[in-house]
């Protein structure tokens, strides 16, 4: 093997990667929402910018087999929580634009993996059903956890986030 061939083979992965476009996360539609479905779960994301102009994403997830509802918030702020105890329970409260709120049963930090985020979950049953119903007619929410507030997350169309989750469920049931 010639030296030129050896160099070309060694550089080929780096050269090949130059032509690839990496996509990080879902992209919003005209309403400012991104809906995804996979593994029996409907996910609807809404986006905002933080004070430095970096993207923060909140995602509501609804498991179709039992209605379990959860919320996750992804963003560069997570660097502040790399030492957080992932086993400690930090429930979240979702505060809606109408002044109502929905405290979760459980929550916490998910750090150290490929994606880092805060999360809250209501568990299958009445608490998830009530929080899911509370999304109907809303046009924004904030997430509060461990003394920090993330949001407000807003979208176009009152109730559009609930409608996106409901449409996803209808399309995939």
Rounded percentage of the chain residues whose pLDDT exceeds 90: 76
**Which one has a higher pLDDT value, 2 or 32?**
32
Q: Are 119 and 63 in contact (CB under 8 A)?
A: no
Provide the mean pLDDT of the chain: 87
The model carries a pTM of 0.83
The string of pLDDT tens digits covering residues 119-170 is 999 999 999 999 999 999 999 999 999 999 999 999 999 999 999 999 999 9
Q: Work out the pLDDT band at 89, boundaries 50, 70, 90.
A: very high
Q: Where are the domains of the chain?
A: 24-172
pLDDT, position 22: 43
Question: How far is 120 from 127, CA to CA, in rounded Å?
Answer: 12
Helices (H) and strands (E) in the chain, counts: 3, 10
Structure confidence at residue 113 (pLDDT): 82
Residue 7 has pLDDT above 60, yes or no: no
* pLDDT for position 2: 57
Residue 116's φ and ψ, nearest 5 degrees, are -115, 140
Strand order in the sheet with 148-154: 101-103, 93-96, 140-145, 148-154
Residue-level pLDDT at 123:
96
């Amino acid at each position: 093997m010639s030296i030129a061939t050896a160099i070309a083979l060694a550089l080929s992965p780096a050269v090949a990667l130059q032509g690839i476009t990496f996509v990080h996360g879902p992209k919003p539609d005209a309403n400012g929402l991104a809906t995804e479905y996979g593994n029996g779960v409907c996910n609807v994301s809404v986006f905002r910018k933080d004070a430095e102009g970096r993207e923060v994403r909140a995602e509501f997830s609804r498991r179709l087999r039992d209605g379990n509802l959860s919320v996750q918030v992804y963003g560069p702020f997570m660097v502040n929580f790399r030492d957080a105890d992932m086993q400690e329970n930090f429930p979240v409260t979702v505060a809606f634009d109408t002044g109502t709120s929905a405290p979760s049963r459980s929550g916490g930090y998910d750090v150290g993996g490929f994606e880092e985020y805060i999360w809250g979950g209501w568990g299958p049953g009445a608490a998830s059903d009530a929080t899911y119903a509370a999304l109907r007619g809303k046009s924004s929410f904030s997430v509060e956890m461990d003394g920090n507030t993330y949001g407000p997350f807003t979208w176009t169309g009152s109730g559009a986030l609930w409608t996106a989750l409901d449409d996803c469920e209808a399309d995939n049931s």
